């Protein structure tokens, strides 16, 4: 089964897997074994911002480009682009989340009809969105 990872889940998976819930870890492992890990493209931008602000420790002096490329390759991650349908859905009134990136991540999961692995309680309450945590 394919699943979409929230940005923090990607970071936890790579650097702090102990921060993932057991249920999230099991779902991620299953998805990795079937080449089914995906993320919204905006997650790469969010990680880039964290990296540029020094909130992510550079691994062995990697550039941001190398860090992001290594992340995508290591996780065999499918990066899903923002489509017109995703952009429109993210503006739907039922999205009560104030973070535009999180709105796009949730809309990506809904449009692709995939579960989202996320600890974000606001996203977990979004009608129609299947969240795993």
Domains and CATH numbers, the chain: 3-132 (3.40.50.1010)
Q: What is the pTM of this model?
A: 0.92
Complete edge-to-edge strand list for the sheet that includes strand 37-40: 78-80, 37-40, 3-5, 116-117, 131-132
Q: Which two tokens stand for residue 73?
A: 């390759």
Give tens-digit pLDDT for 80-111. Answer: 999 999 999 999 888 777 889 999 999 999 99
DSSP-based three-state secondary structure for 117: strand
Q: In which band, very low, low, confident or very high, does the pLDDT at 59 lie, cut at 50, 70 and 90?
A: low
Cα angle: 41, vertex 46, 49; to 5 degrees: 135
**Per-residue model confidence as pLDDT tens digits over 107-126:** 999 999 999 999 999 999 99
pLDDT digits (tens, 9 = 90+) for 62-80: 888 998 999 999 999 999 9
């Amino acid at each position: 089964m394919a699943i979409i990872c929230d940005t923090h889940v990607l970071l936890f998976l790579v650097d702090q897997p102990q921060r993932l819930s057991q249920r999230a870890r099991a779902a991620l492992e299953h998805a990795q074994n079937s080449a089914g890990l995906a993320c919204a493209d905006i997650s790469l931008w969010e990680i880039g911002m964290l990296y540029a602000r020094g909130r992510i420790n550079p691994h062995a002096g990697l550039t941001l480009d190398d860090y992001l490329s290594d992340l995508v390759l290591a996780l065999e991650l499918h990066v899903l682009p923002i489509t017109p349908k995703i952009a429109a859905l993210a503006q739907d009134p039922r999205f009560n989340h104030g973070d535009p990136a999180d709105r796009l991540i949730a809309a990506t999961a809904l449009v692709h009809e995939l579960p989202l692995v996320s600890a974000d309680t606001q996203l977990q309450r979004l009608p129609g969105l299947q969240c795993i945590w």
